[in-house]
Structure 1
């Protein structure tokens, strides 16, 4: 069954639509728009995920998690609006082609069922939510790993030996950094080692 979304509506065919029919039309258009934006979010999440995994960057992985959550919400919104369109077609809109004014014979002999694409759409919404959760967990793990690495490397950055500097004592002249007589060569004899 072809659904006419009247894009563009050059002949102004929607002029005579009722408020319920216009609401159904706008919800149907919004379903398509939400899925398109959701696919764009998934496409962007793919590339930020690839870069994040390549560079082991918790920031990129967090961005991927946010984009996947955004895609999940957009897809769930699209599916919710799809159910709204179905509700309007069955319960609210009156007209020859809509369910309420079908003859009883037609209603009794009609079978309305959801097929594989409906199930795949809801499974996709669920898996995009699972993906967002797993990406956020991965970002948390990468941040913890980076903090542990920096803590282990901190001992190499901290000074281990005291600095060779002159300290001033209260009331006394500052001592030399290396006090004592300085000998050039060997101080134990004529050996020049």
Structure 2
């Protein structure tokens, strides 16, 4: 009893924390932090006498990239339409080209691969949240009924959810790899101004939303293992309880006696034997 109770309590707490971490990481924008040194940028442009209007290009500004938005960390670029996000930062949406338009029709094959992977990141997270939603109901039923099958279902659903989230994270890294190493079009890192590629001018960091998402994935995996362990504990406890109850059961053997309580051997003693006549010897003596 103690094994299943403790394991279920720990698994429930970890799963709640995992859902909270995944939800916050999925909805916030600090996945990829890009920091641009404005002083070095301005000095480089003035030294090389470059003709560029860097105040209108958002690539010259520090920003945070999420799954849905790009938000400016400090000042925002001019003539870039933005809105105020829930975290009170100036942001603009990432375009996934749903539906597709005349801009996406000009994409190369590699750009389309990158776009499909970016869409799949969001799709896998949504599927993972759906599995977590289902595991909520099976977990409640398993805890209430102490059902081995429901707890196994809960553990497997959370395991699938963690695998989906891990796959989404892998695709997100693939998107970053395409941006920095494979793509050579106007939207990629290869076409950034040379000043932004200088050492110490632009720096890249993984943000707290990214770290929080990984923490949620690890906790979801741990909670799935804990639920499967709790199911095993409950099954073992039920077997021990059944074995103890068997000791108090009296063996019952079938009663082969006559159900009416009549002994027919005494009621009907058998055939009569002839012992001769009282008037003589033999059956015809007079």
TM-score by length of 2: 0.56
**Partner deviation per Cα, 1:137-172 (whole Å, 9 max, x = no partner):** 00110111111112222234x543544323xxxxxx
Change in 2 beyond 3 A, CA 1:178/1:88:
farther
Give how far 1:110 is off.
1.3
**Partner deviation per Cα, 1:51-98 (whole Å, 9 max, x = no partner):** 110111010000000000000000000000000111001111112332
Looking at structure 1, the residues matched to 202 and 171 of structure 2 have their Cα atoms a distance apart, in angstroms, of 24
- Counterpart contact for 1:65–1:133, Cα < 8 Å: yes
Matches within 5 A, 1:1-193: 1=70, 2-9=93-100, 11-108=101-198, 109-156=201-248, 158-160=249-251, 162-166=253-257
* C-alpha RMSD over aligned residues: 2.1
> Where does structure 1 differ by over 6 angstroms across 4 or more consecutive aligned residues?
176-179
Higher relative contact order (CA 8 A, sep 6+): 2
| Local SS of the residue matching 1:165 | coil
- Greater helix share, structure number: 1
Give how far 1:36 is off.
0.2
> How many equivalent pairs are there?
170
- Greater strand share, structure number: 2
- Counterpart contact for 1:165–1:177, Cα < 8 Å: no
Looking at structure 2, the residues matched to 91 and 52 of structure 1 have their Cα atoms a distance apart, in angstroms, of 48
Looking at structure 2, the residues matched to 132 and 178 of structure 1 have their Cα atoms a distance apart, in angstroms, of 67
Please identify the structure whose Cα radius of gyration is greater: 2
Change in 2 beyond 3 A, CA 1:91/1:178:
farther
Looking at structure 2, the residues matched to 161 and 137 of structure 1 have their Cα atoms a distance apart, in angstroms, of 38
- Counterpart contact for 1:49–1:61, Cα < 8 Å: yes
- Unpaired stretches in structure 2, ≥5 consecutive residues: 1-69, 71-92, 264-286
